[in-house]
Amino acid sequence: MNIFFTVIIVVQVLSALTIIGLVLLQHGKGADMGAAFGSGASGSLFGASGSSNFLSKATGVAATIFFCATLALAYVGSKPGALKGGVMEGLPAVPAASSVVPTPAQSATTGDAQSAAPAATPAANAPAPAVPANQIPK
């Protein structure tokens, strides 16, 4: 199902880029940008009136493909459990033992300097000082 989802997205992006290109190739009804750059209607690739007709039909086909791809994405995305797996799903579990702080008795028995440093900090179980209800703790 994930490959189908990727194919639909690729089709949608390609059809969107095609629509952008085809709309930019067409000239407006009153602007006649093509005549400003020296291209006459008789010397065009599609003939005197063929370019507007061909580009209009091609834009309609690309728009139809775009809307069908959008509907397919909405259908695939609305199914419960359609896309399984997330970014964080394949990661290994981290053990919780790395956050354990040694007690003063453990650091006194080991005797090394690194384990003696955490013993000077207050214990994690120490009660928080009482703060009156009308004051914000700092």
User: Are the C-beta atoms of 51 and 35 separated by less than 8 Å?
Assistant: no
Looking at residue 91, what is its pLDDT?
A: 75
Give the ranges where the chain is alpha helix by DSSP (H).
2-25, 33-36, 50-78, 104-110, 113-116
Using an 8 Å Cβ cutoff, are 72 and 8 in contact? Answer: yes
Q: What residues of the chain score a pLDDT lower than 50?
A: 43, 115-116
pLDDT digits over 78-90, tens only?
Answer: 877 655 666 677 7
Question: In whole angstroms, what is the distance from residue 59 CA to residue 15 CA?
Answer: 9
Provide the pLDDT for residue 59: 93
Q: Give the pLDDT score at 13.
A: 96
The pLDDT assigned to 2 comes to 81
Q: How far is 81 from 22, CA to CA, in rounded Å?
A: 37
Q: Is the CA virtual torsion 31, 32, 33, 38 positive or negative? A: negative
Instruction: Return the pLDDT at 89.
Output: 73
